[in-house]
Structure 1
Amino acid sequence: MNQKLDELYTHVLPALESKKNEFHLYGYTVVTEKGLWDYLVQKKWRRKDISNMRPYEIVQDLFKLSPAQFMTYTQTEAQRNSSAFPELSEEERAILFSPRKSN
């Protein structure tokens, strides 16, 4: 992470811990603060300039996150990074797991 992202992460860490604890209450005990942060950076904000986001925007997006959204992301990432499809080339794998483009 770059310095600005590190600062934002540190600033919103209490909210990340709160969300992690919420997920743990629902039985999702493998969820971590870092995992939640990675979801936000790589999925939710992949097309945003994160360095200009305000802490309240980050916390708002975090608190809107449902366990289903997060678990879908983690499962997709696990499949994307696994060798579950050895017959596919890297290009085919990228197409298979890339987000759909809206028309």
Structure 2
Amino acid sequence: MIQFEQLYKEVLPVLQSKMDEINYYEYDGITLEDIWNFCIKKRWRRKKVEELRLYEIVETIYSVKPSEIVSYFQIQQFRSENWFEDISNHELQELLKSKTVESDK
């Protein structure tokens, strides 16, 4: 059975070409893995690996717009980010408590 890791190795030159295009438009911070993960999680999320043909994979990679990748990862960052991870439970309760006391005034 084919896995995404095997396909990644096959389409690495295509990913590199897309990466060159993205760099040309000065989108910094996007890696080959970011492009690949975007395709897996966004474009192919409802497809099985076995159903994908090589030409479909190449077409998908070339059709990805840099702004789509940036938007997708920004949204993922907002969804997964724990804004209060550096605060203890007690400190969080104190913050919430003080907020409700101030709003009652």
Query: What TM-score do you get using the length of structure 1 for normalisation?
Result: 0.75
Q: Does 1:46 align with 2:45?
A: yes
Percent pairwise identity: 33
1:85 Cα deviation from its structure 2 partner? 8.1
Q: Deviations over 1:63-86 (max 9, x none)?
A: 111112111101011111112488
- Specify every segment of 5 or more residues in structure 2 that has no aligned partner in the other structure, as ranges: 86-105
Aligned positions, number:
85
Quick one: which amino acid aligns to residue 9 of structure 2? Answer: T
Q: Say what the alpha-carbon RMSD is for the aligned residues.
A: 1.9
Counterpart of 1:22 in structure 2 is 21
TM-score normalised by structure 2 residue count: 0.73
Q: Give the letter for the 1:79 counterpart.
A: F
The question of 1:74 aligning with 2:63 is answered no
Which aligned runs of 4 or more in structure 1 are off by greater than 2 angstroms?
none
Unaligned runs of 5+ in 1: 87-103
Change (3 A) 1:48 1:85: farther
**In 1, are the aligned partners of 2:18 and 2:61 still within 8 Å (CA)?**
yes
Larger Rg: 2
